[in-house]
A and B are shown apart, each in its own frame.
Chain A
């Protein structure tokens, strides 16, 4: 079973104080740490677990500049067999459609059975690259997937719907599966595991190697135009209870009591 995992390298914004960059087309990213998109860590783990069960090879690919190498190496330490970084300067400013086109080019010439992605990336919150990529590769796809089982030439799994409902689905292989968070427990990466993969080469591929031209990537190839980013309006918002932790906690307890909210 040859499995290709698409991994996105994203700025970690969950706890950061964000500011809008000059020109208001993006946020300031220089000071932000970057990391593997959380959903994709689950995808890498799932790929490695499937390989451990049925054999095969796990290839991780990330469309991102050079700095993403460290996260690709983490994927190797997590059990992937090879990792590719895909980038040319022309790719700057592309959208999800460009990324899907690039990944499709990368994957088309390979021998693969399964493509795994995350369902959604926390930076653009789009949830689009998996489904677009599958359409470009002309293979069936599914999002929000857990409990994957691989039989002969079929994958069966659960898809998450709303309100605690799931659907059980089966697709032919090759197929693309966008995983849900929580479908496995991503392994702990030991220092030993990191050392073991330190010398593995992580090749870089650019538009030439992929056989693409500059018009298909970056802003030129994008279908969306970013007009403006902004911090959401402050609005009314919560009444903030100021003070030291003990003081604000005490005040909160009183408020709860006043509102009759203490059971």
Chain B
């Protein structure tokens, strides 16, 4: 049986990232369901203040301070967590699924001799057994997995899936742990942060967004979409594959690794609705999807949908809008 649940806090540039609180919420629930003890681990350059933020929500915080943790250096993180956690013998390690944890969770699972389930959107303890739900096959199918050995498990959790409501009364202990890392021996080194180039179109503050995805095909008529956006008085945005193919610059990309948008209307053309894309759409815009696949995940979150070929729908839509605008 698992006695210890470790929630790995995520910070960037000295501030806690929101996803940590979701991991805390999931960890607390699991601790109750499994009768285990919850500990939050914070690796940080200088982490005293954040540790205190955590300590009002969790009973125990382990803090390891070292300049190397000013960024998330996966090599340093894995060896530190291994030193801290492995001696316990059995453990459940929980963290948010983010671009940082994606870098170390798999290696950590090997170092801890643990099973790994990434990007879980729901967790359940049934007859003492842990079950994790994830999405597979381009996010179109749900799957439930269990663990052959439930004594050692690493989980990463999808952002937005676990509700956290602050209680603010834990009075947790904060323990400073020595850092086991010899920085000079690290084979991986953080150099600096780099911001993506800014563009001439401000997608982030647009009210009306026409967004194109892989469904526009390999040799798309970009003019057609730009023209629709212009007619609607909006801007053109896109999903990641469009940037990958160099059809539009990066500052048009909506999503977790691109831009967060808060439009009033978001028209998604040939976009399947992967959560990394939807993660960039904030507020609750009027979300409209045109997609030829009736089962595309985007239809589960859109307000209105047209099941059809965008090459037929888009010109007809623009024509009608023009006539309505007179």
A and B: real partners?
yes
B74 and A161 form a contact (CB under 8 A): no
Interface code A217-254, partner B: CB below 8 Å = 1, 0 otherwise? 00000111111111110110111110001101110111
Q: Does A79 contact B (CB under 8 A)?
A: no
**B242 closest partner in A (C-beta):** A182
Report which of B78, B241, B313 forms a contact with A249, defined as CB distance below 8 A: B313
Considering the chains assembled together, what is the distance between the CA atoms of A96 and B105 in angstroms?
Answer: 13
Distance A166 CA – B307 CA, assembled complex (angstroms): 37
Residue of A nearest to B100 (CB): A161
Within 8 A of A (CB), among B300-326: 300-309, 312-314, 316-317, 319-321, 324-325
Residues of B within 8 A of A185 (CB): 245-246
Contact B137 A257 (CB under 8 A): no
A127 touches B107 (CB 8 A): no
Give the Cβ gap from A18 to chain B, nearest Cβ, in Å.
Answer: 6
List residues of chain B with CB within 8 A of the CB of A164: 195-196, 250-251, 257-259
**A171 lies within 8 A of chain B by Cβ:** yes
Residue of B nearest to A184 (CB): B244
The docked-state distance in angstroms from the alpha carbon of A86 to that of B241 is 30
Asked whether, in the complex, the Cβ of A165 is within 8 Å of the Cβ of B208, the reply is no
Please report B residues at the A interface, Cβ cutoff 8 Å.
12, 71, 74-75, 78, 98-100, 102-107, 109-111, 114-119, 131, 134-149, 187-196, 208, 214, 232-234, 240-241, 243-246, 250-251, 256-260, 264-265, 272, 286-289, 292-295, 297, 299-309, 312-314, 316-317, 319-321, 324-325
Flag if A159 contacts B103 (CB, 8 Å).
yes
With the chains together, A135 CA to B113 CA distance in Å? Answer: 11
Instruction: Given A125-B136, A169-B191, A257-B324, answer yes or no on A163-B257 (Cβ-Cβ < 8 Å).
Output: yes
How far, in whole Å, are A139 and B110 apart by their CA atoms in the complex? 13
A128 and B101 CA atoms in complex are apart in Å by: 11
Interface residue total, chain A, C-beta cutoff 8 A: 85
> Once the chains bind, are A182 and B189 in contact (CB under 8 Å)?
no
Check if A22 is an interface residue, CB within 8 A of chain B.
Answer: no
Q: Are A142 and B148 closer than 8 Å at their CB atoms?
A: no
Q: Is A212 an interface residue (CB 8 A)?
A: no
Across-interface contacts of B149 in A (CB, < 8 A) = 223
From A18, A234, A246, give the contact of B140 (CB < 8 A): A18
Would you give the shortest CB distance from A148 to chain B, in whole angstroms?
Answer: 14
Main secondary structure of the interface of B (DSSP, over half): mixed
Cβ contact within 8 Å between B118 and A127: yes
State the CA gap A225–B319 with chains docked (Å). Answer: 53
B295–A18 touching, CB < 8 Å: yes
Question: What 0/1 readout, one digit per residue, does chain A (186-202) give for beta carbons within 8 Å of chain B?
Answer: 00000000000000000
**17 CB < 8 A contacts A-B:** A15-B293, A126-B118, A127-B102, A131-B104, A140-B75, A141-B74, A158-B194, A167-B192, A175-B188, A185-B245, A225-B148, A227-B146, A229-B141, A235-B300, A238-B302, A252-B304, A262-B233
Other A-B pairs, 10, CB within 8 Å; known A238-B305, A246-B316, A262-B321:
A160-B99, A163-B258, A165-B194, A167-B190, A169-B189, A171-B189, A231-B140, A245-B313, A250-B317, A261-B232
The 8 nearest A-B residue pairs measured at CB: A263-B233, A131-B106, A182-B244, A238-B305, A249-B316, A223-B115, A135-B110, A253-B320
In the assembled complex, the CB of B266 is this many whole angstroms from the nearest CB of chain A, namely 10
| Contact with B134, one of A125, A163, A172 (Cβ below 8 angstroms) | A125
A230 to chain B, nearest CB (A): 5
Contact (A144, B316) CB under 8 Å given A238-B299, A239-B303 = no
Tell me whether A132 and B233 are in contact (CB under 8 A). no
Q: Are A240 and B115 in contact (CB under 8 A)?
A: no
Across the interface, do A141 and B195 meet the contact criterion of CB distance under 8 Å? no
A124 CB–B CB distance under 8 Å: yes
A255: Cβ under 8 A from any B Cβ: yes
Q: How far is it, in angstroms, between the C-alpha of A225 and the C-alpha of B132 when the chains are bound?
A: 10
A205 located at the interface, meaning its Cβ lies under 8 Å from any Cβ of chain B in the complex: no
Partner of B187, one of A140, A222, A231: A140
Nearest A residue to B194, CB-CB: A166
Q: Which residues of B contact A129 (CB under 8 A)?
A: 106
Contacts A223-B149, A224-B147, A253-B317 given; does A27 touch B303 at CB 8 Å: no
Q: Mark A143-171, 1 if CB is under 8 A from B, else 0.
A: 11000000000001011111111111111
Which partner residue on chain B sits nearest A172 by CB separation? B187
CB of A181 within 8 Å of the partner chain:
yes
A226 to chain B, nearest CB (A): 6
A136: CB under 8 A from chain B?
A: yes
- Nearest CB of chain B from residue A13's CB, rounded to whole Å: 4
A25 to B295, CA, bound (A): 20
Inter-chain contact B188/A140, CB cutoff 8 Å: yes
Chain A neighbourhood of B294, CB < 8 A: 240
From A20, A181, A261, give the contact of B208 (CB < 8 A).
A261
